[in-house]
Amino acid sequence: MAWLEYVLPLIFLAPLGAAAMVAITLRDVQTVGLRSPHDGEPIREIAQAHRDRLEKARMVFFLDATLAPTLTLMPIVYGMGRMLFAEEQSWLEWSLYGVVSTLLAMLFCFLILRDVQRVRRLTRSLACELAVGQTLDHLIRPLAKPYFVFHDFPADSYSIDNVLVTPQGIFVIQTVAREFPLDLEGRAINTVSVESERLRFRGWNERTVLRKVRLSTVWLRHWLTRHANLNVPVSGILVLPGWVIDDETQHLGENRDVRVVDGIDLAKQLGITEGEVINDTQRQHLVDTLNARYQRLESKPPIR
* 132 belongs to a structural domain: no
Final residue in a domain of this structure, among 62, 90, 123: 123
Q: Which residue, 64, 91, 123, sits at the end of a domain?
A: 123
Domain that holds residue 34: 4-123
Shared domain for 291 and 146, answered yes or no, is yes
Asked if residue 170 and residue 114 are part of one domain, the reply reads no
Domain check: are 48 and 99 in the same one?
Answer: yes
Q: Are residues 104 and 181 in the same domain?
A: no
Is 164 domain-assigned? Answer: yes
Domain count, the chain: 2
State whether 180 and 293 are in the same domain. Answer: yes
Same domain membership, residue 106 and residue 181: no
Q: The domain that contains 171 carries what CATH number?
A: 3.40.1350
Flag whether 111 is in a domain.
yes
Q: For the whole model, what pTM was predicted? A: 0.63
Looking at 123, 156, 191, the residue that finishes a domain is: 123
273 lies in some domain: yes
pLDDT tens, N- to C-terminus, the chain (304 residues): 566 666 677 777 888 888 788 777 776 665 556 555 445 566 566 777 778 888 888 888 888 888 888 888 888 888 877 777 767 777 787 788 888 888 999 999 999 999 999 998 888 888 888 777 767 765 655 444 577 888 888 888 888 888 988 888 899 999 888 888 888 777 888 889 888 888 999 888 999 999 999 999 999 999 999 998 888 889 999 988 888 888 877 655 455 778 898 877 777 777 765 667 888 888 888 988 988 887 776 555 455 5
3-state secondary structure the chain: CCCHHHHHHHHHHHHHHHHHHHHHHHHHHHHCCCECCCCCCECCCCCHHHHHHHHHHHHHHHHHHHHHHHHHHHHHHHHHHHHHHCCCCCHHHHHHHHHHHHHHHHHHHHHHHHHHHHHHHHHHHHHHHHHHHHHHHHHHCCCCCCCEEEEEEECCCCEEEEEEEECCEEEEEEECCCCCCECCCCCECCEEEECCCCEECCCCEECHHHHHHHHHHHHHHHHHHHHCCCCCCEEEEEECCCCEEEEHHHHCCCCCCEEEECCCCHHHHHCCCCCCCCCHHHHHHHHHHHHHHHHHHHCCCCEC
Residue 97 is assigned to a structural domain of this protein: yes
